[in-house]
Chain A
Amino acid sequence: MRPILLSGHERSLTQIKFNSDGDLLFSVSKDKIVCAWWSANGERLGTYNGHQGAVWTVDVSPNTILLATGSADNTVRLWNVKTGECVKVWEFSTAVKRVAFSPDGSRLLAVTEKRMGFNGTIAVLDINYGENLSAQATEPTLTIVCEESKATVAGWSFLGKYIIAGHEDGSVSQYDPKSGEQVENVQIHEFDSQITDIQFAPDRLSFITASKDKSAKLLSSRNLAILKTYISDTPLNTASVTPKKDFVILGGGQAAMDVTTTSARQGKFEARFYHRVFEDECGRVRGHFGPLNTIDVHPAGTAYASGGEDGYVRVHHFDKAYFDFMYEVEREQARK
C-alpha cells in the first residue's frame, strides 16, 4: 500500500474531501489555498484562490458541480468546481469552522465560531444549481444559535432529516433543519473534551465522532444511541467510516505544543484502523510526522487519504490483503 504524497500546501491541512465519484480529492489548509487533485495519480487539477485567511473546511456538492469552503476570513465561498471561479461569497461575523452539503445537495450548513461576543451558530443556506450558479440566496434560511456550548462540527443525517452537531463540551445534538429546534442533546464524550470530527457512514444511518478524550464513538443518527466505542491512546482529530469493508479509521496524535520531544514515536502520528463492529484495532498506517488532522475515505471504499499537521496529504489505495481481511465469524456469515 504505497501512498501517494500530495505536497501542495505550505501549512497544516485542515480538511480533505473526496467527491462522490471518488476521482477528485479536495484539500484545504491554513495556507488559504484550496486544492483539487486527481485521486488516482495525485496530479493537481488546480487551485481555488480567493480566501484571505486559513481555510478550515471544504465540502463538494453531491453532483460535483459546486464546492463550498469556510475560512477564518469569516466567509463561506462557493466555487464552480470545473472553472475554479468563485460564484458566491457569504459573509459571517466570525470564522467558519465547518461546511456540509445536505445529502441531496439542496442545502448547505455552515458552523461559525464563537468569538468577540458572537455566539456560535449553525447557518443553513439554500443552494441553487441553475444555469447561473451565481444566483444564490444571500441570507441563510435558518440560523441555529448554540448558546450553551459552541458547535465545532456538524453534518446531515439520512434524508437530510436532522442536522447533527458535535460540541466543544463533548456532547452531540440533533436539530430539526426546518424549525432549528434542538431535538436531543447527549453527553457522549468526557465532559469538556471537544468533539473534533463527525463523519457519516455511507448510509447515513450512523455516524462516527472523534474526540480529544482519545476515543471515537459510532452513534445512531436516529436517536443518538452509542452503538460502538473505539478507544485509542492519543487525542483524536478525525474519524471516518469505510464503505465496502466494516472498518473505521481514526487519526490524531499529541499536538505539537503538548509534546516535549516531538519524536514521531512519541507523537503517535498514525492512522488507526478499527473494526467497525468488533471495536478491535486491526492495523496502523504510519507516515505522517505531525498529528493527523483529517481523514476521508474514497466513496467506493478503495482508498483513503489523510491530511496532517505536517502539510502533506497521503493517498493510500488499499491492496488486496485489505479486502481479503475478514474475521472468522464474518466469513462464516458471508458463506451463509
Chain B
Amino acid sequence: MAPSFDTLSEQDLHEEEEEEIDFSDLKEQYEVKVEEGLDTFIVIDGLPVVPEDSRQKLVKFLLRKLNSVGSTSEDAVFMPVNDKKMTEGFAFVEYETPEMAVAAVKQLHGVPLDKKHIMAVNKLMDIERYGREGRIDEEYKPPVPEPFKEKEHLRSWMGDASARDQFALYRNDKVGVFWNNKTNPPENVVDRAHWTQLFVQWSPKGTFLASVHPQGVQLWGGESFSKQKQFPHPFVQLIEFSPLEGYLTTWSARPIQVEEGQPILTYEEDGKNIIIWDIETGKPLRSFVSHDLAAPADIEGSDVAPKKKVQWPAFKWSSDEKYVARMLQGQSLSIYELPNMNLLGRTSVKIEGAMDFEWSPATVAREGIKQYEQLLCFWTPEIGSNPARVGMMSVPSKEVVRTRNLFNVSDVKLHWQSQGAYVCVKVDRHSKSKKSMATNLEIFRVREKGVPVEVVDSLKDTVINFAWEPNGSRFVVIANGEAPTGAAVLPKTSVSFFAPEKKGYTAGNFKLVRTIEKKTSNGIYWSPKGRFVIVATVHSQTSFDMDFWDLDFEGEKIEAEKDLAANLQLMKTVEHYGVTDVDWDSTGRYVVSSASVWTHSMENGWNMHTFSGTTLSENPTEKFKQFLWRPRPATLLSKEEQKQVRKNLREYSKEFDEEDKYAVDIANTAVVETRKRVLSEWVAWLRREKELLAEEKEAFNLPEDADSPTAASDARPVVEDQGDSVVEEIVEEIIEETEEVIG
C-alpha cells in the first residue's frame, strides 16, 4: 500500500512502538488528585524582600499587575513573613478561576517588576509536582543524541544526466511524478493512489511536493518521495510557501479546535484560521484569525448576504523571507519579522483605505540608497476629496519613499517586474460620468534616481491582463474591446506588445511595438527565461488558440520598429480544445497546455509543446486535474560561467544532438523489433489454427472447402490466397463478310 496521509496513525507521528514506552513517570505526573483543586493558585517568586510594614504597599503594587490578566483581591494574596519580620520574596495568589491563573503564568512569568526584580510565576500545582524531592533529577544528564540517519538527497532530481525536468500529474485519484522525455512517453518516478485529497503543490524551489489532506499538509521529497514534514492543520484548504522554502502558510475556513493530546498545536492556535509554520522544525510560529475581504457591493433587492471573499495569499512574503506582511483592508498593514514573528516596530502601519499591496519579488538597490531594504507597493482609493494614491514603502524603516496621486480611479493592480526593476501600476480609470473606462499604465523605474514614473496612456480600453517579461523590460497587455451583445460570444480583445526604446545602457521609454486586434486572448504566459511568450485564449469553449511569439526574432526587422528593443514574430498558433492552463517548465524549453476537469469535463488532458510551438505529444487523460512542473532552484553558476556556456553553446548542443539521435535510433530499433516479434507470433498463431481447422474438417468428414461460399456458407472469399485473377476472354467478331467467285 502506498504511504499516504490517510493510512497514518498516531503511532506514525510518534515513531515509537507503544509497548516499549514506560508510562509510569507520565502517569505519576498527570495523576489527577481530586481533593486538591489548587488550580486557581499561583506562586510568584523573585519579589523584593521588604519589611513587614511595607508589605501592604508591595501587595498593592503587585495587584495592579495581577489584575491585568485576571481578577483577584488583596485578601487572596498571601505573602508570608519570616522571623526577622521580613518578607521571603515570594507570594501565593488565588485567582477567581483556573483560566485566570493559567493566563497569569503565561503572561506574567519573566516580566520585570522593576529594574532589579523579575517575577517568576508558576502554578502552585506545578511547584507541587516538580518541586517535590526526587521528582527532578538534580544532576544534569546530557540527552543522548540520536544516531545519524542518512536522509535522501532533497535535490537528487537536479543530478539527472540529461538534465530532464520532472513534473507532477494529478488525474483521477492518482498523483504521479514523471520525467519528461520529450516525444517519448514520460518515465514514471512514483505513482500513488489517493496521494492527496485536494491538490498537490511544489515548493518554490522544487524541494518538496505538498499534498493536502483533512488532517493537514504533508511534504514529500527525496529520490523516492518519502515523508519529510507534516503540518497538522485540520481541514486545511489553502497553502502557500515562502519564496525561499523556509516557511509555510496554511489556511482553513474552519477555526482550529485544539483537542487534548494534540502534540503540535497548542491553545495558542485555538480558534485561528491561519498558521505560519517553520518548515525546518515543523512547528507553528504564529497563528492568526483571517480577515475577510470586504464583500462585493450589495446587489440591490437581494436578501442573501453576499459571500465573503477570502483574502489569499493572506500573508505576502518579502523576497528575502525576512518579513511577512498582511493587510487589514482599508486600515493598516502589519509587517512581521522572521523568524520570531514579532510585529516590526511593535505596531502596524496605519494606511487609511489601503486596498492592496505587493512586495518586490527581488531585493533591489535604489540609486543612492546604501542600507539594506525591502520594498513594497500599496495603493489607496479616493477618499472624500483626497486623491487615490500609490505608495512605495521601504522596510524595515517603514518609510514611504515614493508616492503618486491618481484621479478618477476605479481599480488599481500592482505588477512588479521579476527583478524588482519596475513596478507597473495598472490604473483603471473612469470618465467623470463614470460611463466609459480607460486604463493607464504608470511605470515606476525603481532603480533610477528618485524613482521616476513613466505614463503609458495610449490605451483607450480597459486592460484585462498584463505581464512583464521575466528578467526583461518588455511587457504584454490584453485590452478588452466592446463586448458584443449576446453573452455567448467572447468579447474581442486586442493584444499589445511594449518594449523600451534602445537607448544606451539603460532602457529608454516604453513604446508600443504592435497591437494585434480582433483576438479573443485572455492569458499571457511568458517563458521563465523571457524572450518567448504565449498569448492564449483559456477557459473558453469556443476559442482555444495559443499564439507562440518570439520577441527577439533573428530575421529582418520592420523599419518602423528599428528603434525598439524587440523584434516581434509570431512563430506558430496551436489549438488545444478547452485549454485551461499553460505551464512553462522552469528552463523555458517546454510548455504544457492542459484542460483540467476542475474547470470542465470535456477532452481533459495535457499537450506538450516546445517553446516554439511544435506539439510533441498529446495526452488525453480522463479526470485530469493538475499538471505541475517541478521548479528548479536558482543556478549555481556565476555570471561569467553562464556567459561561457552561452558562448560555447554550439559545441555543447552537438553533443546533445548526437545523444538525441542515438536515443531515437535505439527507440526505432526497439519498435521495429517488437513489431517483428508481434507479427511473427501472429503468423505462427494463424498457421497453427489453420492446421487445427484442417484436422477438424477431416475428422468431421467435410470436404476441404466446406467453409467456402460455394457450399452455401457465408464465409467470405479469402481473396489474398487466390490473388486477383485476370480472366482473358477473346471475342471474335466478324465485321464484314464477302463472297468472291474466283475463276
Main secondary structure of the interface of A (DSSP, over half): loop
Q: Judging by beta carbons under 8 Å apart, are B696 and A243 in contact?
A: no
Q: Judging by beta carbons under 8 Å apart, are A205 and B693 in contact?
A: yes
Q: Judging by beta carbons under 8 Å apart, are B679 and A205 in contact?
A: no
Determine whether A131 belongs to the interface, using a CB cutoff of 8 Å to chain B: no
In Å, the complex CA distance between A129 and B706 comes to: 17
Q: Judging by beta carbons under 8 Å apart, are B714 and A61 in contact?
A: yes
- Given A62-B713, A103-B713, A159-B707, A203–B696 Cβ distance below 8 Å? no
Determine whether A138 belongs to the interface, using a CB cutoff of 8 Å to chain B: no
Q: Judging by beta carbons under 8 Å apart, are A233 and B716 in contact?
A: no
Of the residues A61, A62, A227, A329, contact of B676 by C-beta under 8 Å: A329
Q: Judging by beta carbons under 8 Å apart, are A328 and B712 in contact?
A: no
Chain A residue with the shortest CB-CB distance to B577 = A265
Determine whether B711 belongs to the interface, using a CB cutoff of 8 Å to chain A: yes
Q: Judging by beta carbons under 8 Å apart, are A62 and B541 in contact?
A: no
Q: Judging by beta carbons under 8 Å apart, are A104 and B706 in contact?
A: yes
Determine whether B672 belongs to the interface, using a CB cutoff of 8 Å to chain A: yes
Q: Judging by beta carbons under 8 Å apart, are A266 and B714 in contact?
A: no
Q: Judging by beta carbons under 8 Å apart, are B541 and A20 in contact?
A: no
Rounded to whole Å, the gap between the CB of B442 and the closest CB of chain A is 43
Determine whether A301 belongs to the interface, using a CB cutoff of 8 Å to chain B: yes
Q: Judging by beta carbons under 8 Å apart, are B713 and A333 in contact?
A: no
Determine whether B117 belongs to the interface, using a CB cutoff of 8 Å to chain A: no
In Å, the complex CA distance between A299 and B690 comes to: 19
Rounded to whole Å, the gap between the CB of A9 and the closest CB of chain B is 24
Determine whether A101 belongs to the interface, using a CB cutoff of 8 Å to chain B: yes
**Contact string, A117-157, partner B, CB cutoff 8 A, digits 1/0?**
00000000000010000000000000000000000000000
- Given A20-B714, A105-B713, A161–B696 Cβ distance below 8 Å? yes
Chain A residue with the shortest CB-CB distance to B676 = A329
Q: Judging by beta carbons under 8 Å apart, are B718 and A159 in contact?
A: no
A103 contacts which chain B residues (CB < 8 A)?
A: 707, 713-715
Determine whether B709 belongs to the interface, using a CB cutoff of 8 Å to chain A: yes
Q: Judging by beta carbons under 8 Å apart, are B714 and A222 in contact?
A: no
**Contact string, A210-243, partner B, CB cutoff 8 A, digits 1/0?**
0000000000101000010000010000000001
Chain A residue with the shortest CB-CB distance to B685 = A227
In Å, the complex CA distance between A103 and B707 comes to: 7
Rounded to whole Å, the gap between the CB of B111 and the closest CB of chain A is 66
Q: From residue 519 to 573 of chain B, which have CB atoms closer than 8 A to chain A?
A: 541
A227 contacts which chain B residues (CB < 8 A)?
A: 682, 685
A61 contacts which chain B residues (CB < 8 A)?
A: 712, 714
**Contact string, A42-75, partner B, CB cutoff 8 A, digits 1/0?**
0000000000000000001111000000000000
Chain B residue with the shortest CB-CB distance to A60 = B714
A222 contacts which chain B residues (CB < 8 A)?
A: 689, 692
Q: From residue 74 to 122 of chain A, which have CB atoms closer than 8 A to chain B?
A: 101, 103-105
A159 contacts which chain B residues (CB < 8 A)?
A: 693, 696-697, 700, 702, 706-707
Of the residues A158, A244, A329, contact of B693 by C-beta under 8 Å: A158
- Given A60-B714, A159-B702, A277-B682, A233–B719 Cβ distance below 8 Å? no
Q: Judging by beta carbons under 8 Å apart, are B714 and A101 in contact?
A: yes
**Contact string, A322-336, partner B, CB cutoff 8 A, digits 1/0?**
000001111001000
Q: From residue 670 to 699 of chain B, which have CB atoms closer than 8 A to chain A?
A: 672, 675-676, 678-679, 682-683, 685-686, 689-690, 692-693, 696-697
B716 contacts which chain A residues (CB < 8 A)?
A: 20, 202, 243, 299-300
In Å, the complex CA distance between A328 and B713 comes to: 35
Rounded to whole Å, the gap between the CB of A256 and the closest CB of chain B is 15
In Å, the complex CA distance between A105 and B541 comes to: 53
Q: From residue 151 to 184 of chain B, which have CB atoms closer than 8 A to chain A?
A: none
B717 contacts which chain A residues (CB < 8 A)?
A: 20, 299-300
In Å, the complex CA distance between A204 and B709 comes to: 13
Q: Judging by beta carbons under 8 Å apart, are B709 and A244 in contact?
A: no
In Å, the complex CA distance between A301 and B717 comes to: 10
Determine whether B603 belongs to the interface, using a CB cutoff of 8 Å to chain A: yes
- Given A158-B707, A222-B689, A327–B675 Cβ distance below 8 Å? yes
Of the residues B685, B702, B715, contact of A204 by C-beta under 8 Å: B715
Of the residues A202, A220, A261, A330, contact of B679 by C-beta under 8 Å: A330
In Å, the complex CA distance between A330 and B678 comes to: 11
In Å, the complex CA distance between A105 and B715 comes to: 10
Q: Judging by beta carbons under 8 Å apart, are A329 and B707 in contact?
A: no
**Contact string, A253-295, partner B, CB cutoff 8 A, digits 1/0?**
0000000010001100000000001100000000000000000
Determine whether B185 belongs to the interface, using a CB cutoff of 8 Å to chain A: no
- Given A62-B713, A158-B693, A205-B693, A243–B541 Cβ distance below 8 Å? no
Interface-central residue, B683, B716, B720, by most chain A CB under 10 Å: B716
Interface-central residue, B541, B686, B713, by most chain A CB under 10 Å: B713
Chain B residue with the shortest CB-CB distance to A63 = B712
In Å, the complex CA distance between A60 and B711 comes to: 15
Chain A interface residue count, CB cutoff 8 Å, equals 37
A202 contacts which chain B residues (CB < 8 A)?
A: 715-716, 718
In Å, the complex CA distance between A329 and B685 comes to: 17
Q: Judging by beta carbons under 8 Å apart, are B715 and A62 in contact?
A: yes
Rounded to whole Å, the gap between the CB of B531 and the closest CB of chain A is 34
Rounded to whole Å, the gap between the CB of A21 and the closest CB of chain B is 8
**Contact string, A289-327, partner B, CB cutoff 8 A, digits 1/0?**
000000000011100000000000000000000000001
A63 contacts which chain B residues (CB < 8 A)?
A: 709, 712
**Contact string, B290-333, partner A, CB cutoff 8 A, digits 1/0?**
00000000000000000000000000000000000000000000
Q: Judging by beta carbons under 8 Å apart, are A203 and B715 in contact?
A: yes
**Contact string, B715-729, partner A, CB cutoff 8 A, digits 1/0?**
111111000000000
A329 contacts which chain B residues (CB < 8 A)?
A: 672, 675-676, 679
Chain A residue with the shortest CB-CB distance to B724 = A300
Determine whether B667 belongs to the interface, using a CB cutoff of 8 Å to chain A: no
Of the residues B577, B702, B712, contact of A105 by C-beta under 8 Å: B712
B127 contacts which chain A residues (CB < 8 A)?
A: none
- Given A222-B692, A233-B620, A243-B719, A277–B713 Cβ distance below 8 Å? no
Q: Judging by beta carbons under 8 Å apart, are B707 and A278 in contact?
A: no
Determine whether B602 belongs to the interface, using a CB cutoff of 8 Å to chain A: yes
B712 contacts which chain A residues (CB < 8 A)?
A: 61-63, 104-105, 129
A158 contacts which chain B residues (CB < 8 A)?
A: 693, 707
B541 contacts which chain A residues (CB < 8 A)?
A: 261
Q: From residue 592 to 606 of chain B, which have CB atoms closer than 8 A to chain A?
A: 602-603
B678 contacts which chain A residues (CB < 8 A)?
A: 277-278
A101 contacts which chain B residues (CB < 8 A)?
A: 714
A104 contacts which chain B residues (CB < 8 A)?
A: 706-707, 711-713
Q: Judging by beta carbons under 8 Å apart, are B713 and A203 in contact?
A: no
Q: Judging by beta carbons under 8 Å apart, are A203 and B718 in contact?
A: yes
In Å, the complex CA distance between A245 and B716 comes to: 13
B685 contacts which chain A residues (CB < 8 A)?
A: 220, 227
A328 contacts which chain B residues (CB < 8 A)?
A: 672, 675
Of the residues A105, A129, A205, A265, contact of B714 by C-beta under 8 Å: A105
In Å, the complex CA distance between A233 and B603 comes to: 10
A301 contacts which chain B residues (CB < 8 A)?
A: 719
- Given A129-B712, A261-B541, A266-B602, A203–B675 Cβ distance below 8 Å? no
In Å, the complex CA distance between A202 and B678 comes to: 21
A220 contacts which chain B residues (CB < 8 A)?
A: 685, 689
**Contact string, B452-471, partner A, CB cutoff 8 A, digits 1/0?**
00000000000000000000
What would 15 more interface pairs be, CB under 8 Å, given A278-B675, A327-B675? A20-B717, A63-B712, A103-B713, A104-B712, A203-B715, A227-B685, A243-B718, A243-B719, A244-B720, A277-B682, A299-B717, A329-B675, A329-B676, A333-B679, A333-B683
20 residue pairs A–B, Cβ–Cβ below 8 Å: A20-B709, A20-B714, A61-B714, A101-B714, A105-B713, A105-B714, A159-B700, A202-B718, A204-B715, A205-B690, A220-B685, A220-B689, A222-B689, A227-B682, A243-B719, A266-B603, A299-B716, A301-B719, A329-B676, A329-B679
Closest 6 CB pairs of A and B: A62-B714, A299-B716, A202-B716, A103-B713, A62-B713, A205-B689
Residues of A bordering B, CB below 8 Å: 20, 60-63, 101, 103-105, 129, 158-159, 161, 202-206, 220, 222, 227, 233, 243-244, 261, 265-266, 277-278, 299-301, 327-330, 333
